[in-house]
Amino acid sequence: MSEIGSQSDAVLVHRILAGQVEQFEVLVERYRTEFGRYATAMLGGDVDDAADALQDAFIRAYRSLASCRDPERFKAWLFRIVSNQCHNTRRARRGHVSLDRIEEPEDRAATKRVDNTEIGQAIEDALNELTAEQREAFVLKHVEGYSYAEMANLLEVGEDALKMRVHRARDELRRKLEGLR
C-alpha cells in the first residue's frame, strides 16, 4: 500500500474520533488517487462525476466514521462507501438527465471525457453493458492492477467468483473490440 503520512489507517481513525478531525485529510489524500481512478472508470471516464462521487463518499465516510467497527480494515470500509456512491451516481444518471447536461456544448462534453478515442469509447460502452459486479471486478483488476487476493480482501468475495467476473468481462470487451475491426 502506498502510504501518505507515516501513520496507519487505524491510528488515524482513532485520532479523528478523539477530536483531531484535521487528520482526516491524510486519509483523503491517501485514497483519493487510488479510488479516484476506480470512480472515473466506473463512471464512464467522466472525471467531474468521479470527483463529485468521491467527495460525497469521503464526507459520508467522515460522518459515519464512528460506525467503522474495525479501523484496521478502514480501506475496505471506505471502498464500500465509494463503490456504493458510484453505483448511486450511475443509477441517478440513468434516471435523470439534468438541464446543464442537455445544454452542455459539444466541445466541452468532448473535453470532459478523458479518452474519447474510438477504442476508449468502445471499452466504456462495453463496461456499461456489464453487470455492476463484473464492471467493478474488471476495473479493479485491469485499471487498479489489484491481485485477486487483494480484490477478495477488499470486496469480501471469493477469488474464484472474482475470476469468473473478470473473465466474463474480458470476453464481453473482446467482442466489442472485435466489432470495431
Partner 1 sequence: MTDEKRFSPEAQRYLDGEPTPGLDQSEREAADRFDQVVRDYAANLTAPGVEVDRAVMAAVVPPASSSSAASFWRWLVQPHLFSVRPAVVAAAAIALVAIGALTMDIPGFTAGEQTAGATTDQQQTILVRFELRAPDAAEVTLAGSFNDWSPEGIQLVRNTASGLWTATVPLHPGEHQYLFVIDGSQWIPDPSAHAQVDDGFGQANSVIVVGPRGVVRS
Which residues sit at the interface with partner 1, rule CB under 8 A? 16-17, 19, 21-22, 24-25, 28-29, 32-34, 36-37, 39-41, 45, 47-52, 54-56, 58-59, 62-66, 100, 114-115, 119-120, 123, 142-143, 148, 163, 166-167, 170-171, 173-175, 177-178
Q: How far is CA 94 from CA 54, 88, 91, 124, 126, in A?
A: 19, 10, 5, 15, 16
Distance CA 48, CA 71 (A): 29
Q: Which is nearer to partner 1, 57 or 154 (CB)?
A: 57
The CA distance from 151 to 172, in Å, is 20
Residue 6: CB minimum distance to partner 1, A: 18
157 or 177: CB nearest partner 1: 177
The residue (of 21 and 132) whose beta carbon lies closer to partner 1 is 21
Smallest distance from the beta carbon of 51 to partner 1, in angstroms? 4
- Quote the CA–CA distance of 166 and 139 in Å, as a whole number: 9
Specify the DSSP class assigned to residue 22. G
DSSP string, 50-69: HHHHHHHHHHHHHHTGGG-S
Closer by beta carbon to partner 1, 138 or else 154: 138
For the bound state, the minimum distance from the C-beta of residue 153 to partner 1, rounded and expressed in Å, comes to 17
**Measured distance CA(97)–CA(80) in Å, rounded:** 26
Residue with cell 459520508: 60
Tell me whether residue 39 or residue 155 sits nearer to partner 1 (CB atom). Answer: 39
Place of cell 479523528: 16
Minimum distance of partner 1 from residue 34's CB (angstroms): 8
Q: How far apart are CA 141 and CA 164, in angstroms?
A: 12
- Closest approach of partner 1 to the CB of residue 156, in Å: 20
